[in-house]
């Protein structure tokens, strides 16, 4: 379910921002945001007992990265509306999954020195959600383990058995 949440969030956002990304720029009141890129990841979770079942509580993290064509000083004027828009798009969404509605948690700029020198801005936006864990049978558990093991290198062959696919 964790991978499904990440993929559904990214698909939902890029579907809603398609017109902007298809031109490679976003017009705003102060210039252009060049090549906005989004990524999604659930990097943190916890568990809670709920009516005899286990509930997985997750933090969905959305990373927003872009360059501002007008330079460093103008970045924030373009960034703030984009951050707000992403929150507005995701608040209350279930992404077509059996999860609790997304609730906003926090956001912050996480631009590091290298990003800053390249004229990039990077923002981390976080949402809370949860879902009830369904107990899997042995065959389903083996399938999960197989997927995880196949992802990594087979010892000794130095060939990738799986690799990440990134949206263009």
Residues 13-72 pLDDT 10s: 888 876 444 333 333 334 445 567 788 899 899 999 988 889 999 999 998 887 766 666
Is the CB of residue 59 less than 8 Å from the CB of residue 126? yes
Contacts for 142 with CB less than 8 Å, ≥ 6 apart: none
**36 Cβ partners below 8 Å, 6+ apart?**
17, 20, 21, 26, 64, 65, 66, 82
- Vertex 8: Cα angle to 76 and 112 (nearest 5): 30
Q: Which domains does the chain have, with CATH numbers?
A: 2-136 (3.30.2000.10)
**Cα distance between residue 135 and residue 21, in whole Å:** 40
Instruction: Return d(Cα 45, Cα 56) in angstroms, integer.
Output: 7
Q: Give the strand order in the sheet containing 25-28.
A: 25-28, 31-50, 53-68, 120-132, 103-109
The SS3 call for residue 17 is coil
Q: pLDDT tens for residues 121-138?
A: 888 999 999 999 877 778
Predicted pLDDT at 28: 38
pTM (2 d.p.) = 0.73
């Amino acid at each position: 379910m964790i991978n499904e949440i990440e993929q559904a969030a990214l698909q939902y956002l890029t579907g809603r921002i398609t017109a902007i990304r298809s031109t490679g720029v976003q017009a705003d009141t102060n210039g252009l945001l060049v090549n906005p890129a989004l990524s999604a990841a659930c990097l943190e979770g916890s568990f809670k007992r709920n009516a005899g079942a286990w509930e997985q509580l997750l933090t969905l993290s959305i990373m927003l990265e872009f360059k501002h064509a007008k330079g460093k000083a103008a970045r924030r004027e373009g960034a703030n509306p984009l951050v707000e828009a992403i929150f507005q798009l995701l608040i209350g969404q279930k992404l077509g999954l059996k999860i609790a509605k997304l609730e906003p948690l926090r956001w912050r700029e996480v631009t590091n020195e290298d990003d800053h020198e390249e004229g990039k801005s990077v923002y981390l936006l976080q949402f809370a959600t949860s879902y009830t864990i369904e107990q899997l049978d042995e065959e389903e558990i083996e399938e999960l383990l197989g997927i995880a093991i196949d992802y990594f290198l087979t010892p000794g062959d130095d060939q990738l058995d799986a690799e990440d696919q990134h949206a263009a």
